Chains A and B, each alone.
Chain A
């Protein structure tokens, strides 16, 4: 089913007799069963006011179309949504072989991005997708059309269902329209690179993030080491790069990274579980599985030690996100309050953290989708 309006989606959900699989671009969905309800027919940017930093689009609008419209006005999405194609860019030997980056890049929809709360490296400075989302419309499991939020950044009118829907993966309803806060593209960007193994990366990132440098990306890649990004006006960026390099001296000599944009896109994609390593493992589960682990940066040392000292495939968010491969069958050993999700093979969450949270999640699902029509969403 490929409805082309919100009211068509509402009619489908109202009359559905069995669970449906909701699908946007298919780049972030999980294996599911049931009839497929695609949002790809519901497209178009309905409002874009660059001077108010506001964009509204229908959920099935390709991410690439939105990024192109923003780029034409020298703006962007601050949360830097990861693209699958980017994982294979940047000099990977498989680039151009058996993947069609263009096709996959086209595939992501803005609704899928929001439903997954997909957020890239700039999250440490500008927040996640949910933080740029200021309003939305959705159809719940009973076929009711619901609006929440608006098109202004500050809004405390009623409950913030916008946040509840972001990252909900279609459990409560089918997104039909999203309103986003956009961000200006700053005139200058510099990335510093510091070669070091994963085990020594977090202290360097922490030193950078605890000073006045206004870092817009702090991650680690096996082939590059620590990467730190500074954005803003040219003089300011140059000044901050100089003083930050001096601050990093105890950790080694920092250099400038050329072709930095590709490296940041690759980091974002790897951290989403795509690309060399992650997808290879997914193809051959006998080799093991890749885990996405959220923790406090100060816990990374203990995390790596407790899991056999395997080198991560990537780290982002100053050490708050670790992409860790583990042997087949192994569950990650987690520090207190850390969260893990398996990225390769079947998408598997560890159980909800406690029975109360599980009860609240179930209660919300039961009220927004009492007949279980959206059960195929996850």
Chain B
């Protein structure tokens, strides 16, 4: 994985830049000690690391604006960072960049239950947004698996989803507005009531732009009344194809569960050995969760039972207690840890049309056999977001390269059947060079024009998302303007 060569002129001015930052926002806000700054050398994609020039940890939008204004004037690249949980290297620094960390900005600024909205600072963690409104009977719907740790600002950058987005949508469907600072230090409010503003939907394009258009410092989010209750069922099948067909039939029937999760045999065996959830011996299983009051849940499960019966499941296990619900989810929730027991793994994040599921699973099996690397599949089946896990041995020379090649083949397969390279993790540095598999030059050019408008000097998180050779002239243009 390549990153641009750091700008020697910036490295040489490091002390002066740090001194200016301290003068602008206070000494306690800036870290330049190399040992402390090491904590920011990578995010959750820890294979790629690089200590930054310095780290700034502001507490207000005005401080963020002061830092960006200064970096803009000095032509210093900036990498925004929420909680650093990106799986795609979205907040990985370069040696000449200032990491702008939002973790200290975690306040709740406004809650209005009547308007069903909450305004928080961008460093607040996803789960603690729900925590802030839990007692009043509300929750914030998007629930990425990292929700205990990940920050709302990062969720907006990556347009994060989660297991329950089949019913409630992803971040962009639950975002009403942001306060954001442009690279030149300008503060702007986007969105408004119902998420709308006159003119173009700028909020819509900022969400998911991986921190390249501006630094979000505050977000207004839609909150929803909590459902009365939820209950999962586990449905076991003797083939992945049958399980895939059952998913399609459930969706077709018009019952919209809040989650449909899928696991194949390698994954089931691994979780059984690891967490002992007591899953049946089967080739594939689904976990389907529905919400409502007990009679409403019974009614939905009766429909699902009827549909599943048409596919002759090995077992239809309906939870009858909190403990049984917990056990059904136990294997799914420990799947990544369980696969980790088998070796090192690389987790992919492609999406496919649900109808292509059987074909894609078969082809992944063939690719896995040809590469001699085991692949386990666990994914959000309701919306086609797959997470194939490739098992390998990081200490064996050459294995990482083989895994990367197999991973790229699987993602290209997703695109070929009508899907895309990433469903929820983002492009970051990880999938940057695969972008041409999905987009033409004109498609990428159109996206980069948007960045030209928001960040003409290409200083914000610029070496991400677009292949380096595609963005080179713009990034170098920004630098040469110095």
A-to-B contact residues, CB < 8 Å: 49-54, 74, 117, 123, 127-128, 130-131, 140, 144-148, 150-164, 166-168, 171-172, 183-187, 206, 209-214, 232-236, 239-240, 294-298, 317, 320-321, 337-339, 341, 349-350, 352-354, 356-358, 360-361, 363-364, 367-368
Is the Cβ of A233 less than 8 Å from the Cβ of B450? no
Q: Which residues in A have their C-beta under 8 angstroms from that of B253?
A: 184
Choose, from B120-128, B364-372, B391-399, B437-445, the stretch at the interface: B437-445
Q: Measuring CB to CB, which residues of chain B are less than 8 angstroms from any residue of chain A?
A: 112-117, 137, 158-159, 161, 165, 169-170, 172-173, 182, 186-190, 192-205, 207-209, 225-228, 248-249, 251-256, 292-293, 295-296, 299-300, 303, 351-355, 380, 383-385, 418-427, 431, 435, 438-440, 442-447, 449-454, 465
Bound CA span A116–B63, Å? 38
Known contacts A233-B255, A298-B112: does B454 contact A360 (CB below 8 Å)?
yes
Q: What would 22 A/B residue contacts be, using CB atoms closer than 8 Å?
A: A131-B172, A144-B442, A144-B445, A147-B440, A150-B351, A150-B418, A155-B422, A156-B426, A157-B421, A158-B444, A159-B465, A160-B205, A163-B203, A163-B204, A210-B116, A211-B225, A212-B227, A240-B296, A298-B112, A337-B193, A339-B198, A361-B202
**Chain B residues with CB under 8 A of A145:** 442
- With a cutoff of 8 Å between Cβ atoms, the chain B residues found around residue A358 in the complex are 199
Q: Which A residues are CB-close (under 8 A) to B299? A: 233-236
Chain A nearest CB from B448 CB (Å) reads: 9
* Contact partners of B384 in chain A: CB under 8 A: 52, 152-154
Which among A206, A209, A213, A233 is the interface contact of B300 at CB below 8 angstroms? A233
CA distance A165 to B398 in the complex (A): 44
Chain A residues with CB under 8 Å of B300's CB are: 233, 236
> Is B198 a contact of A353 with CB atoms below 8 Å?
yes
Report the 9 A-B pairs with minimum CB-CB distance, sorted nearest first.
A163-B204, A184-B254, A363-B453, A51-B248, A154-B423, A236-B296, A367-B449, A356-B188, A159-B447
Residue of A nearest to B448 (CB): A159
Known A-B contacts A158-B435, A233-B303, A360-B453; A294 and B200 likewise in contact (beta carbons under 8 Å): no
CB distance from B171 to the nearest CB of A (A): 9
B199 near A352 (CB under 8 angstroms)? yes
- What residues on B are CB-neighbors of A146 within 8 Å? 442-443, 446
The reply to whether A154 and B351 form a contact with Cβ atoms under 8 Å apart is yes
B170 touches A154 (CB 8 A): yes
CA separation between A166 and B159, bound complex, in Å? 17
By beta carbon, the residue of chain A nearest B419 is: A152
- The docked-state distance in angstroms from the alpha carbon of A164 to that of B116 is 25
In the complex, the answer to whether B296 meets A51 with C-beta atoms within 8 Å is no
Task: Tell me if A353 and B354 are in contact (CB < 8 A).
Answer: no
- Please name the residue on chain B nearest to A340 by beta carbon: B198
| C-alpha gap A39/B296 in the complex (Å) | 45
Additional A-B contacts beyond A51-B249, A152-B383, A234-B299 (14; CB < 8 A) = A52-B248, A152-B420, A156-B425, A212-B293, A321-B194, A338-B193, A356-B188, A357-B199, A357-B202, A360-B188, A360-B200, A360-B454, A364-B453, A368-B449
Whether the Cβ atoms of B296 and A168 lie closer than 8 Å is no
Residue pair A156, B422 in contact (C-beta under 8 Å): yes
- Least Cβ distance of A169 to chain B in Å? 9
Which A residue's beta carbon lies closest to that of B193?
Answer: A294
